[in-house]
């Protein structure tokens, strides 16, 4: 991770003028030692717990609680990871998490891309009203409606099912916003030219607009995958049979079963956290841009 | 031509709109309707109207007001705290220098890591026997503290965990705002002899004010939804001292099957959220004005 360099990874659309990075003042080109010191301390406080998690996941259960604590494991115990899979069916949990996160992400990208394009480039009656309703729905987090939502899923027989874990997560207001913003900032000439050539809406969308949105699709897909991988509370109330547990629910199961075996708990945490950290380290520029651009 | 576009428009927005209506707006309407009934999620069908009884019960000995108080306390500590630390870190990260991206990556990581895994790390760090924090206390001759099982330490631990998760978000948002400030402002002030701290207070701070408004609102809204952090770290204890509103709603609906009371709690939370969001609209419109100047 130390090799990551500041580079415009994917060619995002030209940002509005106000957002473009300007030339830096001279003094900040060579920040003082004090600045680095504070940032190093902050980095240790914020990222240190993850390193500690990985180190402890290789210790024995007694060494995990030894006082004073050891830094590196005196004896490395990679078999802790096998034990986690023995104590609980983490293979199945992983499969479930991957299926749910990939399917929900695909659904979010597709539906948001379509709606964002329509809201930005097409004229139809009630468009603005519909968009305001969408805005208002932002006020309704899942945490507010989960009691009736779960009973709705129950009456559909969707509790303890993949469709129950996936489908309610497909509509993404944030996604619609991001794509609407992207398409609105898009030069109209290309689309107009094809319109004059007689290309219909679908052709324009499929052959011109959607391919041009690929960098934006990538950014949002990464963000969406992380969100769906981490989406514990929703999964927790929709599923109570072990065969449909995701990695996150599996971790709470592990917490209940192995409360004092912190080496196993940290191995489990590493299994849950690592995919997200890897995705983040690989695509951090897109993630940070999507997050800090999403509010404009 | 526009008629054709119209039909395509409806078709393209239909999936998002229909799914949103079925899985969010319909349950939202049900939430409001059920809050006036004795609905039991475990026994579908038998529902009778009870007027405002649930709301009267909320104000009584249901534990709702305590949960609301805890939630407000969390918001009051976490929102300004994460913004202040995030802004300082964003200011330190402003500019381009070696290691900048590495710092940003490491500090932002907790915001994006799955909460259950992170919370398990904290419960390990804070455990009385052998946890890193208590080992450090022991090192300086202090007695061990069972942080997650005694009050007020449990709530403090939850707040610190939330700060740890949220600071990176504030930092990234503030970074984007700081990078839009023309360097000429700073250069001019420097020529006038203003030091780094003075320039931060007189130039950067006022210019990121709209961003601060945005962060207050998003921070408040996310504080209203705290569940997983408490669920993993403390389970709501000790003696309900870390129970948040969403945790309380979950208990009422899923453990005690009092759907009427649970949805009444949701309605109160919704009203709080609506007030906060209306404030957001004011802040955001103000933000646009400032940016146009």
Going by C-alpha positions, the residue among A265, A217, A243, A237 that lies closest to residue A99 is: A243
Q: Which of B143, B146, B167, B142 is nearest to B156 (CA)?
A: B146
- Has residue A144 got a pLDDT over 60? yes
Return d(Cα B158, Cα B228) in angstroms, integer.
11
For B179-208, where are the alpha helices, taking DSSP H only?
183-191, 196-199, 205-207
| Helix residue ranges per DSSP H, A138-203 | 142-155, 162-166, 173-184, 188-196, 201-203
Residue-averaged pLDDT of chain A: 84
Is residue A45 domain-shared with residue A107, that is, in the same domain? no
Range of the domain at A44: 32-77
Q: Which of A40, A124, A263 to mutate to test the interface with B (most CBs of B within 10 A)?
A: A124
Same domain, A170 and A191: yes
A43-53 burial code (b ≥16 CB/10 A, e <16): beebbebbebb
Predicted ipTM of the assembly: 0.89
Rounded to an integer, the average pLDDT of A255-262 is: 86
Q: pLDDT per residue over B23-40, tens digit each? A: 999 999 999 999 999 998
* Model pLDDT, residue A2: 36
Backbone angles phi, psi at A255, to 5 degrees: -60, -40
The residue out of A77, A109, A131 marking a domain boundary is: A77
Inform me whether the pLDDT recorded for A177 exceeds 70: yes
Write the residue in B13, B164, B263 that is nearest to A130 by C-beta. B13
In a domain, A5, yes or no: no
Residues A56 and A110 in one domain: no
| Residue A123 pLDDT greater than 50, yes or no | yes
A284 and A138 in a common domain: yes
Query: Cα separation of B266 and B121, whole Å?
Result: 31
Answer whether residue A11 shows pLDDT above 70. no
Among B residues 119-178, those touching chain A with beta carbons less than 8 Å apart: 120-125, 127, 129-132, 135, 138-139, 164, 167-169, 172-173, 175-176
Q: What is the pLDDT of residue A142?
A: 86
In B152-289, which ranges are E strands? Answer: none
Q: Does A277 contact B115 at a Cβ distance shorter than 8 Å?
A: no
Q: Is residue A3 part of a domain?
A: no
Q: What is the DSSP letter of A13?
A: P
User: A19 pLDDT exceeds 50?
Assistant: no
Nearest CA in chain A to B224: A143
| Residue labelled with tokens 């000439």 | A189
**Contact check, Cβ <8 Å, A262/B110:** no
The verdict on a CB contact (< 8 Å) between B263 and A148 is yes
Interchain pair B117, A281: CB under 8 A? no
At residue A17, does pLDDT exceed 50? no
- Are A147 and A56 found together in one domain? no
Inside any domain, residue A45: yes
Q: Which residues contact A220 (CB under 8 A, 6 or more apart)?
A: A108, A109, A112, A175, A178, A179, A290
Q: How far apart are CA A224 and CA A97, in angstroms?
A: 13
Whether chain A has a CB inside 8 Å of the CB on B23: the answer is yes
Please identify among residues 246-275 of chain B the ones whose CB lies closer than 8 Å to any CB of chain A: 246, 249-250, 253-254, 259, 262-263, 266, 269-270, 273-274
Question: Is residue A70 in some structural domain?
Answer: yes
Q: Please report the pLDDT score of residue A18 as a whole number.
A: 45
Q: What is the pLDDT of residue B110?
A: 96
With contacts defined as CB-CB under 8 Å, which chain A residues touch B263? 147-148
What is the pLDDT at residue B289?
Answer: 43
A8 belongs to a structural domain:
no
Q: What is the CATH number of the domain that holds A269?
A: 1.10.3720.10
Q: Which of A31, A118, A266 sits opposite B95 (nearest CB)?
A: A31
pLDDT class for B285, splitting at 50, 70, 90?
low
**pLDDT computed for residue B1 by the predictor:** 47
Average pLDDT of A206-234? 89
pLDDT tens-digit map of B69-111: 999 999 999 999 999 999 999 999 988 888 889 999 999 999 9
pLDDT of residue B284: 63
**For the residues B244-273, what does the mean pLDDT come to?**
94
Which pLDDT band holds residue A107 (cuts at 50, 70, 90)? very high
pLDDT of residue B62: 86
Mean pLDDT of A95-120: 95
A270 and A130 in a single domain? The answer is yes
Task: Evaluate whether residue A216 is within a structural domain.
Answer: yes
Q: Same structural domain for residues A108 and A66?
A: no
- CA–CA min distance A108, chain B (Å): 9
User: ∠ CA(A189), CA(A185), CA(A293), 5° rounding?
Assistant: 160
pLDDT of residue A122: 87
Does residue B33 contact residue B259 with C-beta atoms inside 8 Å? no
Question: Residue A16 — pLDDT band, cuts 50, 70, 90?
Answer: very low
CB A204 within 8 A of CB A194: yes
Tokens of A73: 């494991």
- Please enumerate in sequence order all residues whose Cβ is within 8 A of that of A126, keeping only pairs 6 or more positions apart, or say none: none
Mean pLDDT within B156-173: 96
B214, two tokens: 């945005």
- Contact residues on chain A for B89, CB-CB shorter than 8 A: 39, 42
pLDDT digits (tens, 9 = 90+) for A33-88: 888 999 999 999 999 999 999 999 999 988 988 878 889 999 999 999 999 999 89
Task: Please tell me the pTM assigned to this model.
Answer: 0.89
What average pLDDT is seen over chain B? 89
Judge if A89 and A73 occupy the same domain. no
CB A149 within 8 A of CB A165: no
Number of domains in chain A: 2
Confidence band (pLDDT; 50, 70, 90) for B130?
confident
Residue with tokens 């998690």: A53
Distance CA(A145)–CA(A160), nearest Å, equals 19
The alpha-carbon gap from A72 to the nearest alpha carbon of chain B, in Å, equals: 14
Above 50 in pLDDT, residue B65?
A: yes
> Which of A3, A12, A20, A39 would you mutate first to test chain B, the one with the most B CBs within 10 A?
A39
Structure tokens at B241: 């001292």
Q: Which domains does chain B have, with CATH numbers?
A: 54-292 (1.10.3720.10)
- Statement: residue B293 has pLDDT above 90: no
Residue pair A252/B116 in contact (Cβ under 8 Å)? The answer is: yes
Q: For residue B37, report the phi and psi dihedrals to the nearest 5 degrees.
A: -130, 180
- The answer to whether residues A54 and A94 belong to one domain is no
- The average pLDDT across B53-72 equals 93
Residues A122, A249 within the same domain: yes
Closest chain B residue to A269, measured at CA: B117
Cross-chain Cβ contact B127/A145 below 8 Å: no
Q: Residue B229 above 90 pLDDT? A: yes
Query: Is residue A10 in some structural domain?
Result: no
Same domain, A51 and A123: no
Residues A90 and A63 in one domain: no
| pLDDT above 90 as % of chain A | 52
Residue B45 pLDDT greater than 90, yes or no: no
């Amino acid at each position: 991770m130390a090799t990551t360099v500041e580079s415009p990874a994917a060619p995002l659309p030209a940002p509005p003028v106000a957002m473009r990075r300007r030339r830096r003042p001279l003094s900040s080109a060579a920040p003082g030692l004090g600045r680095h010191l504070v940032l190093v301390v902050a980095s240790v406080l914020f990222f240190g717990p993850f390193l500690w998690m990985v180190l402890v996941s290789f210790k024995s259960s007694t060494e995990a609680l030894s006082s004073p604590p050891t830094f590196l494991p005196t004896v490395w115990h990679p078999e802790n990871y096998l034990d986690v899979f023995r104590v609980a069916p983490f293979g199945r949990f992983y499969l479930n998490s991957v299926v749910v996160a990939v399917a929900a992400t695909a659904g979010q990208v597709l539906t948001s891309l379509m709606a964002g394009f329509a809201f930005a480039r097409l004229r139809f009656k009630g468009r603005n009203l519909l968009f305001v309703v969408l805005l208002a729905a932002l006020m309704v987090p899942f945490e507010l409606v989960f009691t009736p939502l779960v009973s709705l899923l129950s009456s559909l027989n969707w509790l303890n099912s993949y469709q129950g874990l996936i489908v309610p997560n497909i509509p993404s207001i944030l996604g619609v916003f991001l794509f609407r913003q992207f398409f609105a900032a898009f030069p109209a000439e290309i689309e107009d030219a094809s319109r004059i050539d007689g290309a219909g809406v679908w052709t324009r969308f499929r052959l011109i607009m959607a391919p041009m949105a690929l960098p934006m699709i990538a950014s949002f897909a990464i963000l969406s995958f992380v969100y769906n991988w981490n989406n514990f509370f929703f999964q927790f109330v929709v599923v109570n049979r072990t065969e449909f547990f995701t990695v996150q629910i599996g971790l709470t199961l592990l917490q209940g079963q192995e409360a004092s075996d912190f080496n196993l708990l940290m191995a489990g945490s590493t299994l849950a956290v690592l995919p997200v950290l890897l995705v983040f380290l690989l695509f951090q520029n897109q993630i940070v841009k999507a997050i800090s651009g999403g509010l404009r | 031509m526009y008629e054709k576009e119209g039909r395509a428009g409806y078709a393209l927005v239909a999936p998002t709109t229909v799914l949103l209506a079925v899985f969010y707006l319909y349950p939202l309407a049900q939430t409001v309707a059920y809050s006036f009934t004795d609905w039991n999620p475990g026994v579908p069908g038998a529902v009778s109207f009870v007027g405002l009884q649930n709301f009267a019960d909320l104000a009584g000995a249901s534990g709702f007001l305590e949960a609301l108080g805890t939630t407000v306390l969390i918001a009051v500590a976490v929102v300004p705290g994460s913004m202040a630390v995030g802004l300082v870190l964003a200011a330190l990260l402003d500019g381009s220098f070696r290691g900048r991206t590495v710092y940003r990556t490491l500090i932002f990581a907790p915001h994006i890591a799955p909460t259950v895994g992170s919370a398990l790390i904290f419960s390990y760090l804070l455990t009385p026997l052998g946890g890193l924090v208590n080992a450090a206390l022991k090192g300086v001759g202090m007695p061990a503290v069972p942080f997650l099982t005694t009050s007020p330490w449990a709530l403090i631990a939850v707040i610190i965990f939330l700060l740890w998760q949220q600071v990176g978000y504030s930092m990234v948002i503030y970074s984007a705002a700081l990078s839009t400030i023309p360097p000429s402002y700073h250069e001019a002030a420097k020529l006038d002899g203003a030091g780094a701290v003075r320039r931060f207070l007189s130039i950067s701070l006022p210019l990121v004010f709209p961003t601060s408004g945005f962060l207050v609102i998003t921070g408040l809204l996310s504080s209203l939804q705290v569940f997983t952090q408490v669920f993993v770290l403390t389970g709501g204890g000790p003696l309900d001292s870390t129970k948040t509103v969403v945790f309380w709603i979950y208990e009422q609906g899923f453990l005690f099957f009092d759907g009427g009371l649970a949805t009444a709690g949701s309605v109160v939370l919704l009203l709080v959220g609506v007030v906060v969001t209306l404030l957001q609209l004011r802040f955001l419109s103000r933000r646009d004005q400032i940016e146009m100047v």
